[in-house]
Structure 1
Amino acid sequence: MNVYDAIKNAIFSGEFKQGQRLTETYLAEYFNVSRTPIREALKQLISEGIVHPYKKKGIIVRSFSSDDIKEIYNVRALLEGYGTGEAALNRTEEQIARMEEKNIAYKEAIYSYNASDLNITKNIQETNQGFHHEIFVASHNNQILELIDKVVVVPLIYRSFYWYKEEHLYQSLEVHNTILNSIKDKDIDRAKSAMQEHIYTGRDHVLKNVINN
C-alpha cells in the first residue's frame, strides 16, 4: 500500500479523526517513511477535499457540518442521477455484465453481514462503490467520473455503512436492482430517479446519525 492510500485509509477508518491536525513529521514517523512521499500524498488529499491546510503547518482532517452534508449529497444526487441516465443511454452489453458482477459481489457481501465484523462492513462499502463506479464508466463521460470522485468523500469519512442495519442494506440492494434493470431497459428517467432516491436515502441516514452522535 502506498503512502497516499495509507493516509486515506487511516482517515476513512477513523484512525485519524475529523479535525485532527497532522504534520509531515508526524505522518513520516507514523508510517515510517520519508517526508517526500508524505508531501506528495498530502497534495493529492488536499485536492480531493479530504484534508485542508492548517496555518502553513500541517493539515487538518476535514470535518463537515449538517449543512455541508446536505449540500454535498444534493450535488451527488444531481451528478449521479445524470451519470446513471447517461449510462442507461450509452451502456454496452459488456458494461452491463460488469455491473451485474459488481452487484452480485455487493449482494454476497450483504448476505455475509455481521454487525461485529468491521472487515465485512468495509467489504460492503467497497463493493457498493464498485457497482456505482461501473455505472459511471458506462456513462462514457470522464468528467462525471472526476466530479463524483470529489463528492463521495462524505460517506467515506463518516463510514456511513457502519451505521446501516441489516434491513437498510437489503433496501439498498433492492434499489441497486432497480437501477440495474432500468439501465438494462434503457429507461433513462427511471434509472436517474432511482439513483437520486438512493443518494437521498443515504443523505438522510448520515444526517440522522451525525445529529444523534
Structure 2
Amino acid sequence: MFDSLNNPNKIVTIKEQVYDIIKELILSGKAKPGEWLQETKLANELNVSRSPVREALKQLVGEGILENIPNKGVFVRTLSKKDIIDIFELRLTLEKYAIKKTIELITTEKLSVFDDIYTKLEENFINNNASEYCKVDTELHNMFFYLSDNMVAYKVNKNTFSMMQPFRIISLRGEQRFKESLIEHKGIIDGIKERNFEKAWGFNKTHLTLAKNEILKYIKEQENNK
C-alpha cells in the first residue's frame, strides 16, 4: 500500500500558498477554461513578488491544469471535444479496473473510509458547495486507485484528473445534475461495501458518462457563443 503523502508538520512556503490559491481559483470555477492568468496581476492581488507566482504557474502548467502559449501567456487549460471524449474513455477503462481491484483487496476495516467520503459529499451537496463537492469527488475516485495497490495506475489516474480539473465543476451545472451525481456516488459506494462489482461499476459508468455529456454540452455552448 502506498505511503501517505500528507505531512501535518510540513512548513508551507509562499510559493506553495500561492499555488494553492491559484489552483483553488481553477477548481472553484472562478478562473474558467481559456482565461489568461497574468503573472503581474496575480502578484499584485496576492501581495507577493512575481517569483512565487511564476513558480506556481509553472508547476500548474506541468500538471496540465494550465497551458503556456508562446508569446501570449499562461491560460487555464482548454480541452477540445475529442480531448474530453478521449479522457473519459481512458477513465472508464482505468476506473473499471480500479474498482474491481478495490473490491478484491479491501478489508472490512477499511470500508469505513467510504462512509466518511459519502458523508462529506452529502454535506457539500446540502450546502450547495459544488467546489468542495468536486474535491471530495476527486478524493473518492483517487481512493479506488489507492486501494487497488497499483502505483502505475495511481499515477496515470492522477495525471488524467489534473487535465480535467478546469472542467470538474462544470460537470455539476444545474441542481438536477448535482443531485444525480450524489445518487451515483452513493450507488458506487454501496456497491463497493456490498462487494458487488456490477453494481459499483454500473453506477460509476453512468456517472462518468453523464459528466462527460455535461462537459461536451458546455463546450458546444461556448463554441456557439463565439
1:189–1:51 CA distance, 2 compared to 1 (3 A): same
Letter in 2 for 1:156: Q
Say whether 1:122 aligns with 2:131: yes
Say whether 1:209 aligns with 2:223: no
**Residues 117-148 of structure 1: CA deviation (Å, up to 9, x unaligned):** xxx22232233223323333222223333222
Say whether 1:39 aligns with 2:54: yes
Deviation at 1:4, TM superposition (A): 0.8
Partner of 1:116: none
Which ranges of 4 or more aligned residues in structure 1 deviate by more than 6 Å?
none
Q: Which moved more, 1:59-68 or 1:149-158?
A: 149-158
Q: In the alignment, which of 80, 87, 96 is matched to residue 65 of structure 1? A: 80
Partner of 2:174: 164
Q: Any gaps of 5 or more consecutive residues in structure 2? A: 1-15
**Residues 7-37 of structure 1: CA deviation (Å, up to 9, x unaligned):** 1122333443433333443432232222332
Partner of 2:200: 191
Deviation at 1:43, TM superposition (A): 2.7
CA contact (8 A) 1:74 1:200 kept: no
> What is the SS of the residue equivalent to 1:53?
strand
CA distance in 2, matches of 1:123, 1:12: 9
Say whether 1:4 aligns with 2:19: yes
Q: Which moved more, 1:151-160 or 1:38-47?
A: 151-160
CA contact (8 A) 1:99 1:135 kept: no
Q: Which moved more, 1:46-55 or 1:22-31?
A: 22-31
CA distance in 1, matches of 2:28, 2:150: 30
Q: Any gaps of 5 or more consecutive residues in structure 1? A: 114-119
Letter in 1 for 2:148: S
Say whether 1:107 aligns with 2:117: no
Residues matched between the structures, number:
206
CA contact (8 A) 2:172 2:211 kept: no
**Residues 29-63 of structure 1: CA deviation (Å, up to 9, x unaligned):** 23222233223312321121111222267422211
CA distance in 2, matches of 1:56, 1:95: 50
CA distance in 2, matches of 1:29, 1:176: 40
Provide the alpha-carbon RMSD of the alignment.
2.5
CA distance in 1, matches of 2:127, 2:25: 24
TM-score normalized by structure 1?
Answer: 0.81
TM-score normalized by structure 2?
Answer: 0.77
Letter in 2 for 1:137: Y
**Residues 54-96 of structure 1: CA deviation (Å, up to 9, x unaligned):** 2267422211122221111221222222211211111122331
> What is the SS of the residue equivalent to 1:136?
helix
Say whether 1:173 aligns with 2:182: yes
Which structure has more relative contact order (CA 8 Å, sep 6+)? It is 1
1:171–1:55 CA distance, 2 compared to 1 (3 A): closer
